[in-house]
Structure 1
Amino acid sequence: MEKYEEMLLQLEKGELQQIEITKEQFYEFREILVKHPLFKHFRGEAKQGGYIIYTYQDIPRS
C-alpha cells in the first residue's frame, strides 16, 4: 500500500506523468486513492483490457 501512496505523491509532484493500474490492483489502489486529500485532482481513464491510467489535474473535478 505504501507503494501506491508514493506513486500518487510522485504523480502530484510531476515526477510521473501517469500511473497504470491493472484490474487486479484496482481495489487496493482505489482504497488509498479515495483517502488522499487531493482525491478530486486525480483522473482515471479506463482502457481496453482492464487497465486504468491515472493522471493528475491542476484543477479538481467537480
Structure 2
Amino acid sequence: MDEQTVNTVLNELRSGELKEYHVSKDQFLTFRKILVDRVDFKHFRGIAQHGGSVIFRYLENPRS
C-alpha cells in the first residue's frame, strides 16, 4: 500500500464515498503513518478487530 492509495482511501472516507475501510494487520503501520500526518486525523476512528486488522470510519465531529 503506497501513500497515494492511502490518501485516496482517506479522502473517500471523508467525502462519504466509503462508509468504512478495512486495513489488514500487515498494512496497518503504513496506513497509520500517513493518517497521523493529516490535519483531519482526529476525524478518523479505528476499530480494532480480532487478528490485528482495523476498520476505519470517518466522523463528522473530531475525537477529543
Query: Smaller-chain TM-score range?
Result: over 0.9
Report percent identity of matched pairs: 44
Aligned CA RMSD, in angstroms, stands at 0.6
Secondary structure of the 1:60 match is coil
Tell me the TM-score normalized by structure 2.
0.93
Give the letter aligned to residue 41 of structure 1.
H
Where do 5+ consecutive residues of structure 1 fail to align?
Answer: none
Which whole-Å CA distance do the structure 2 matches of 1:36 and 1:7 have between them?
Answer: 13
- TM-score (normalizing by structure 1): 0.96
Instruction: State the 4+ residue runs in structure 1 displaced beyond 4 angstroms.
Output: none
